[in-house]
Amino acid sequence: MALYGGALAAISACASLASPDLPKEYLDQQTAATITTVGRPMVLARDPREQPATDPHDYLTVAAAAVDRSGIIEYVLIVYPWLSLYESKGGASERDIVPLTLAADERRITLPLQGRSAQETGLGTPVHAPFESLTMRPYVYRTDLATLRILAEASHITVLSHAEDMRVAYVTMYDERASLRALVEQLSRGN
């Protein structure tokens, strides 16, 4: 019996040490959709060469997810624009990131903004929102597993926007492509 208890304790300890790169799966209590998301989102910062050092720093948090509603699966990218903490207003405006253009190595991928709210997509609970205490609007873009795979395998990812008739680039600040690769692998096994 003591051996059994010790083995159970060891298994429990291993389970609690799961890699943060591993996908997270949960049942959204508000929408009844099963959500599978990256363990950690990517964070991109406006290219410092394009932004004066005295300006508030402009960021994008980007998370990939699969939304399963009774066996119908949608793949999405959730984007939260935000500014550094000492600034209270939101980051990039909607016109800056609609449509969303991603540069994955030499490929350009443009995703239109989904015409539904996050709640209507099945995301009742915020997915990797940068600040849990603030109400931030997530921008949800429909994608597919092949595009997520391209992003996961890219050497570098940049988000391009055209703010006020000028090109603005957001470069990777926290590179969590390992987390995206783990999500793509898990979703590929399920298909």
Residue-wise pLDDT tens for the chain (191 aa)? 444 444 444 444 444 456 778 999 999 999 999 999 999 999 998 887 766 655 557 889 999 999 999 999 999 999 988 876 544 444 555 555 667 889 999 999 998 888 788 899 999 988 998 876 456 788 999 999 999 999 999 998 998 876 555 677 888 888 899 999 999 999 999 75
Q: What is the pLDDT of residue 89?
A: 47
Give start and end residues of each alpha helix (H) in 40-175: 94-97, 118-121, 145-153
Residue with tokens 């890699």: 19
**Spacing of C-alpha 120 from chain mean position:** 18
pLDDT of residue 190: 79
Is 82 within 8 Å of 102 (Cβ atoms)?
Answer: no
**What's the confidence (pLDDT) of residue 5?**
46
User: Residue 6 has what pLDDT?
Assistant: 45
Tokens 């996961």 -> residue: 152
The residue whose two tokens read 């932004």 is 51
- Which residues lie closer than 8 Å to 46 by C-beta, 6 or more apart? 57, 58, 59, 92, 168, 169, 170, 171
Q: Please report the pLDDT score of residue 41 as a whole number.
A: 95
Q: What is the DSSP string of 137-171?
A: PPEEEEE-HHHHHHHHH-S-EEEEEEETTEEEEEE
Residues 6+ apart with CB under 8 A from 87: 56
> Encoding tokens for residue 9?
């304790």
For residue 65, give Cα distances in angstroms to 30, 130, 143, 174.
Answer: 17, 16, 10, 18
